[in-house]
């Protein structure tokens, strides 16, 4: 092997060891648990191997929960794209020497306490909260406020994951040659045509990386739906959590975690090489 190969691997070894022991090994343990029988107190031996947990996990009774999780995750990704793109584009294009400051301004709320922010939204969306009061001035208020609705959950998730969308989008926008937009206009293309033919392909790696960073974690989140959505808002993540904390059915929880992991791997494979340099 060449010297360069040795040097690179030597530098990567500490990280590789850490992730191997504290991330890959645990994930492998989950895969083992998922094939174990309940009540075996699974340790090293996981016999008898059984697919029972997967059969339970794929029970139609869980379908509405999976459906709801998917809707939350996809809606959150779309909302983050719609809010994040103008922001990233604006900072990259018009930020000038204030770029760093503007980017930091996006990140400051994100670097505060996550729970406190969710509770602040809870208060704002409450029946007596500010949002309902302001909407009341124009007659758009809603009895009991907006808490415990699907909209509230999607809003909370969008709020929580927006920075993960903005950062890769910003990187992509910064690399984008803005003169292409002028050229497109000069050549007679309209706004819509320019956006879809020039801008979107130009920043696509950022869109891909950002969507990946939002979609999968949003599908696993259970704290936000629990706090903003109320009792009937169980999601994929909260069901897994219940198996480990309350229900004490580790094999079932593990099988569901493995299904979620498979989703991650599928999305990573779909991404292919295109988003790699951004992520």
Partner 1 sequence: MNRRPWVLGLVVALVFLFLYAPIAWLALASFNSSRSLSRISGFSTQWYAELFDDTRVLASLQLTLQLALASAVISTVIGTLAAFGLRRAFPGRGLWTVLLSLPLVVPEVVMGVAMLGFFVKLAGVPLGFGALLFAHVAFSLSFVVVVVRSRVSGMDVRMEEAAADLGASPWTAFRTVTLPLVAPAVVAGAAFAFLLSFDDVVISSYLTGVGSTTLPVFVYAQASKRGISPEIVALSTLMVTATALLLIIGVVVASWRARRAGSTAELV
Residues 36-95 close enough to bind partner 1 by CB under 8 A: 42-44, 83, 86-87, 89-90, 93-94
Nearer to partner 1 (CB atom), residue 113 or residue 139: 113
Q: How far is the CB of 48 from partner 1 (least distance, A)?
A: 18
Q: How far is the CB of 61 from partner 1 (least distance, A)?
A: 20
The residue among 195, 175, 168 whose CA lies nearest residue 106 is 168
Q: How far is the CB of 220 from partner 1 (least distance, A)?
A: 2
Q: Tokens standing for 210? A: 């950002």
Q: How far is the CB of 63 from partner 1 (least distance, A)?
A: 19
Q: How far is the CB of 209 from partner 1 (least distance, A)?
A: 9
Burial grade of 256 (CB within 10 A; 0-12, 13-18, 19 or more): buried
Using DSSP's 3-state secondary structure scheme, residue 256 falls into helix
Find the binding residues for partner 1 in span 169-228 (CB under 8 A): 171, 178, 181-182, 191, 194-195, 199, 212-213, 216-217, 219-223, 226-227
Nearer to partner 1 (CB atom), residue 61 or residue 108: 108
How far apart (Å, rounded) are the C-alpha atoms in residues 84 and 171?
12
Q: Tokens standing for 200? A: 């979107």
How far apart (Å, rounded) are the C-alpha atoms in residues 242 and 234?
10
Measured from the Cβ of residue 150, the count of other Cβ atoms closer than 10 Å reads 15
How far apart (Å, rounded) are the C-alpha atoms in residues 154 and 36?
35
Q: How far is the CB of 38 from partner 1 (least distance, A)?
A: 14
Q: Is 135 in the site for partner 1 (CB under 8 A)?
A: no
The residue among 258, 257, 187, 190 whose CA lies nearest residue 222 is 257
Find the binding residues for partner 1 in span 20-39 (CB under 8 A): 21-27, 29-30, 33
**The one segment of 52-60, 102-110, 136-144, 200-208 that binds partner 1 by CB under 8 A:** 102-110
Q: Which of 49, 268, 270, 274 binds partner 1 (CB under 8 A)?
A: 268
Question: Please, what sign has the CA dihedral across residues 208, 211, 217, 220?
Answer: negative
Nearer to partner 1 (CB atom), residue 32 or residue 50: 32
């Amino acid at each position: 092997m060449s010297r360069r190969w040795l040097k690179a691997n030597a530098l990567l070894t500490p990280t590789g060891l850490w992730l191997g022991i504290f991330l890959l090994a645990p994930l492998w343990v989950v895969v083992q648990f998922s094939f174990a029988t309940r009540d075996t107190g699974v340790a090293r031996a996981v016999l008898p191997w059984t697919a029972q947990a997967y059969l339970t996990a794929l029970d139609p009774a869980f379908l509405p929960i999976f459906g709801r999780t998917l809707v939350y995750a996809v809606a959150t990704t779309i909302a983050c794209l719609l809010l994040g793109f103008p922001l990233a584009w604006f900072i990259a294009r018009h930020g000038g020497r204030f770029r760093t400051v503007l980017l930091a301004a996006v990140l400051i709320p994100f670097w505060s306490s996550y729970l406190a922010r969710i509770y602040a939204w809870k208060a704002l969306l409450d029946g007596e909260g500010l949002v309902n009061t302001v909407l009341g001035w124009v007659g758009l208020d809603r009895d009991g406020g907006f808490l415990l609705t699907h909209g509230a959950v999607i809003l909370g998730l969008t709020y929580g994951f927006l920075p993960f969308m903005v950062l890769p989008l910003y990187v992509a926008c910064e690399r984008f040659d803005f003169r292409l937009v002028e050229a497109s206009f000069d050549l007679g293309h309209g706004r819509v045509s320019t956006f879809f033919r020039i801008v979107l392909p130009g920043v696509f790696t950022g869109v891909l990386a950002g969507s990946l960073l939002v979609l999968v974690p949003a599908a696993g989140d259970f704290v936000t739906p629990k706090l903003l959505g109320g009792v009937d808002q169980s999601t994929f993540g909260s069901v897994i959590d219940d198996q480990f904390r309350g229900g004490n059915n580790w094999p079932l929880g593990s099988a569901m975690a493995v299904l979620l992991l498979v989703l991650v791997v599928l999305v990573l494979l779909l991404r292919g090489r295109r988003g790699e340099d951004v992520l």
